[in-house]
């Protein structure tokens, strides 16, 4: 049975998980395990909130003892334990919008280089999971919902810090794709999050080096710019006057 997620229909977390399982198996030849899958859909949700200002799926993400988890996805794949997921009994993969599929390919390509343990440890070093677990005894497996606002605010600020740090050191031209992932890693390094499994000591050292003083450039010069100012002209406008008035 083919599950077709229409262009105006938001996929569920299970749709996203099933797509990742099929992509990992069919396209990459690198099957994913359940713990890694949970962290992949968590980071997909977080960075979709950052990049698109909206959730990828509506399911709640819970701060469980071993990291962020979507309960339905956990239940669906719990039978695999620590083993790799084989999608032979699931039929065809869900059909997602092409833009969504392209984004998920970036998520899998980037985060798929880390082990399940590293992905879990990464979420434990980041504020959304840590703050959500603050009042929960460490031995208790269940947890509370991680707010989408907390996820969006935290990862946007972390990525922005990374972009600013790279900009100050004139390194934006060497940033590999996907750029959002590079900014995220740079943010971890710029904040000196040494216990984070994604921390890169060489990059952190580079970003901590003094920057030659620029001629009175304000902090806003280095800040990420997400808006574009556009001046529109009509056939009857005085072009010079229109430009002056727009300044």
User: What is the residue-averaged pLDDT of the chain?
Assistant: 86
For position 133, what pLDDT does the model report? 84
Residue 230 has pLDDT above 50, yes or no: no
Residue 3 has pLDDT above 70, yes or no: no
For position 223, what pLDDT does the model report? 65
Specify the range with the lowest mean pLDDT, choosing from 19-28, 80-89, 178-187, 218-227.
218-227
CB distance 162 to 189 below 8 Å: yes
Domain boundaries, the chain: 13-210
Rg of the chain on CA atoms, in Å: 21
For position 142, what pLDDT does the model report? 64
CB distance 31 to 25 below 8 Å: yes
For position 66, what pLDDT does the model report? 85
User: For the residues of the chain, what is the DSSP string, one character each?
Assistant: ---B--TTSPPPHHHHHHHHHHIIIIISS----HHHHHHHHHHHHHHHHHHHSS-S-----EEETTEEE-HHHHHHHGGGTTSPP-GGGS-SPPB--HHHHHHHHHHHHHHTTS-HHHHHHHHHTSHHHHHHTTTS-TT-----BPPHHHHHHHHHHHHHHHHHHHHHTT-GGGPPSSHHHHHHHHHHHHTT-TTSTT--HHHHHHHHS--PPPSS--HHHHS-----------TT--HHHHHHHH-
Residue 111 has pLDDT above 70, yes or no: yes
pLDDT digits (tens, 9 = 90+) for 143-153: 789 999 999 99
CB distance 21 to 90 below 8 Å: yes
Helices 34-52 and 98-111 sit at what angle, rounded to 10 degrees?
A: 120
Mean pLDDT for 150-170 is 97
Percent of the chain predicted with pLDDT > 70: 79
Could you tell me which residues are beta bridge partners of residue 67?
Answer: 64
Mean pLDDT for 6-30 is 90
Distance CA 86, CA 29 (A): 11
For position 51, what pLDDT does the model report? 97
pLDDT digits (tens, 9 = 90+) for 50-79: 999 999 999 999 999 889 999 999 999 999
Distance CA 162, CA 224 (A): 10
pLDDT digits (tens, 9 = 90+) for 116-137: 999 999 999 999 999 998 866 5
Distance CA 115, CA 79 (A): 20
């Amino acid at each position: 049975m083919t599950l077709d997620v229409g262009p105006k229909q938001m996929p569920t977390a299970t749709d996203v998980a099933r797509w990742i399982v099929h992509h990992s198996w069919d396209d990459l030849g690198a099957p994913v395990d359940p713990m890694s899958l949970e962290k992949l859909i968590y980071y997909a949700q977080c960075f979709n909130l950052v990049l698109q200002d909206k959730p990828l799926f509506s399911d709640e993400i819970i701060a469980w003892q071993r990291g962020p988890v979507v309960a339905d996805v956990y239940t669906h794949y719990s039978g695999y334990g620590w083993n790799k997921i084989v999608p032979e009994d699931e039929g065809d993969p869900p059909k997602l919008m092409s833009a969504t599929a392209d984004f998920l390919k970036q998520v899998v390509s980037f985060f798929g280089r880390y082990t399940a343990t590293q992905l879990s440890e990464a979420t434990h070093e980041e504020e959304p999971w840590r703050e959500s677990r603050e009042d929960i005894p460490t031995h208790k497996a269940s947890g509370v919902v991680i707010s989408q606002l907390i996820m969006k605010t935290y990862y946007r600020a972390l990525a922005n810090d990374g972009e600013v740090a790279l900009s100050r050191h004139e390194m934006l031209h060497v940033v590999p794709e996907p750029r959002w992932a590079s900014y995220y890693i740079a943010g971890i390094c710029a904040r000196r999050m040494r216990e984070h499994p994604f921390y890169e000591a060489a990059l952190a050292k580079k970003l901590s080096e003094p920057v030659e003083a620029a001629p009175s450039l304000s902090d806003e010069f280095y800040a990420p710019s997400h808006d574009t100012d556009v001046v529109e002209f009509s056939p009857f406008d005085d072009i010079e006057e229109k430009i002056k008035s727009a300044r």
